[in-house]
Structure 1
Amino acid sequence: MENKYVICSEAFVIASYAIEAMLCEVASYPSPGLVSSISKGSHVDMDHYSFIKSTSILSKYMVLFAQEGYSNRTPKEIFAAIRHIGIEAESEMFKGTKGVNTHKGMIFLLGISCAAVTKAMHDKKNFEGIQDIIKQMTKGLVVNELCYMNKDKVKSYGEKLFLKYKVEGIRGQVERGIPLVFDYSLKVYSENSDLKLNNRLIHTLISIMQFCEDSNVLHRHSMDTLGEVKQKAKHIISLGGMTTEIGEASIVALDSEFIKRNISPGGSADILAVTVFFNSVEDYFNHISAT
């Protein structure tokens, strides 16, 4: 009973970081084209309250993802287990939002992330070991689910975009250990800790948009539009992003433009939430090692 309590306690801690990250992402403004606490962005079927509802529903599942990771099983076995949980989480999300997709990508990314973190804790590995666990969990995912998929049974946006553009999307990111987070955005988020939280979030979001192969943009538009989104983000970062007045004004203007053009960089928003999550996790690991 004591061991079970310890496992559940750690699962709740890690899940709380995931929930906080989800809420921080949707609260921040101006997030170009995205739902925030101020705006619906380029969306007509959801708002800030939709995300509060969805996050509340998913809080249970973040705990379950984390509990599955705290195990003697191999990373591959854990991944198989959390995918079943993910299917249930998606179903409950859609019930709560009346069919609106608020967090499908987030469920996948944060589900893997929560399980990988608690697996590292179980195996007494440090923060740097988490990325390798993610790679072990998802090894072969692109080949097995995209390269060899039945083209007559294609359903998801990710599958359709792979067929059209050969973009690996979220599957490719996790199979490589979410390098956009571990090799880039975590550093950006850390280096801008002097900014107010809202501004830090937006600055990191724009930084991510420079490099993210955003499936939401591709689904709504085209590869040319995605290239344009990346270039606009790079220009804003060259102006200083949220660290300068001209950079901030450019982000506000970009938000208005994206709303008019129906552009929503939701993939970048998901990566932002994962960045916030792993920043909290890294702090937690550092605290544990220091005590």
Structure 2
Amino acid sequence: MSALPRVAPAVDTAALGRAATVALYDELALAPKPGLVSFVDNGSHCDMTAGTLLRSLFALRHYFPAIATAGAADADFTALQRLGIAAEARMLVATGGVNTHRGAVFTLGLLCAAGGWLQARGDAPSPSALRATLLQRWGRDLDDLARHPRLSNGLSNGRSAAQRHGLRPAAAEAALGFPVLFDVALPALRRTAHLGPRLARLQALFEVMAVLDDTNLAHRGGLDGLRWAQQQARDFLEAGGAANPAAILRAQSLHVAFVDRNLSPGGAADLLAAACWLDRVCTA
């Protein structure tokens, strides 16, 4: 009797990639959100609009499925980096040199790669499995990247601010398995899902803002600006957060205050998008 043919695991890296693009759109569409670009206004940004971000999304649309496919093929960290650097270059061409989604290229790219790795081995992506894959497969490389900035694609404004103020940059957050993403952002998004997508995303954003070493805020406002923004987020949460009937009005008032101070929590926005990706992919 002949052996049954082996069935290859179902790998849908295109779906993982599409979910990343949609997650970035989820973040863009949320309003009001302090200092950040939306379809309503440009927030604290004089160099970009919602249109700029949409052009960036269009330029990145092939990158996320490609890095998911690379993850499925068990690519090493250098190969993932090459894909990310090429994606950044396409983004900058599309935006006229404006850095719209560099953080998302890094964070969502790693998540897509981990999702592809799991799918290729017959495992469904779950938050715990994705986190374990990141740490086990590329954790040592991420730790090296966090310790040695020269290994990254140039010294970004965020990394410079992290070094100047002794903060934890995105690479260090990744090397720890994205604790703010998995322990704060995603639980907040799911815990408040009954409020509807808009308010749940607002809650997740503010919970991240309250605890994240957001180097975008530190770059724009120094350590004082970061600490001020974190306190505003804590005050919003202590007043009931997104469950407060006046949450939208309070968020709009904070938006104005952040714009007045030229502050924008871009790191928190990246983690909100990543949480939206996790919620969509892991639910499916």
The aligned amino acid for 2:105 is: I
Q: Which moved more, 1:136-145 or 1:178-187?
A: 136-145
Aligned to 2:130: 130
Distance 1:48 1:247 in 2: 23
Question: Residue 106 of structure 1 is aligned with which of 95, 104, 112?
Answer: 104
Aligned to 2:118: 120
Superposed CA offset, 1:43-69 (max 9, x none): 111111111111011011011011111
Q: Output aligned runs, 1:15-34, within 5 Å.
A: 15-34=17-36
Give the Å deviation of 1:141: 4.6
8 A contact 2:146–2:172 mirrored in 1: no
Superposed CA offset, 1:203-240 (max 9, x none): 21111111111010011111121111111101101111
> Is 1:211 aligned with 2:219?
no
Partner secondary structure for residue 61 of structure 2: helix
The aligned amino acid for 1:115 is: A
Distance 2:175 2:137 in 1: 8
Give the Å deviation of 1:245: 2.5
In structure 2, relative to structure 1, the CA distance for the partners of 1:148 and 1:170 (3 Å cut) is: closer
Q: Output aligned runs, 1:105-254, within 5 Å.
A: 105-126=103-124, 127=126, 128-141=128-141, 144-149=144-149, 155-254=155-254
TM-score, normalisation: structure 1: 0.88
Question: Residue 56 of structure 2 is aligned with which of 37, 54, 79?
Answer: 54
Distance 1:166 1:154 in 2: 19
In structure 2, relative to structure 1, the CA distance for the partners of 1:67 and 1:206 (3 Å cut) is: same
Superposed CA offset, 1:228-280 (max 9, x none): 11111011011112221233322111000011110000000000000000011
Number of corresponding residues: 275
Distance 1:22 1:230 in 2: 23
Distance 2:178 2:49 in 1: 28
Q: Which moved more, 1:49-58 or 1:268-277?
A: 49-58
Give the Å deviation of 1:4: 10
Q: Aligned-pair RMSD on alpha carbons?
A: 2.2
Aligned to 1:64: 66
Give the Å deviation of 1:100: 0.5
Distance 2:158 2:117 in 1: 27
Distance 2:280 2:176 in 1: 21
Which blocks of at least 5 consecutive residues in structure 1 are unaligned? Answer: 285-291
Question: Residue 95 of structure 1 is aligned with which of 88, 93, 96?
Answer: 93
State the percentage of identical aligned residues: 27
Distance 1:4 1:83 in 2: 28
In structure 2, relative to structure 1, the CA distance for the partners of 1:257 and 1:149 (3 Å cut) is: closer
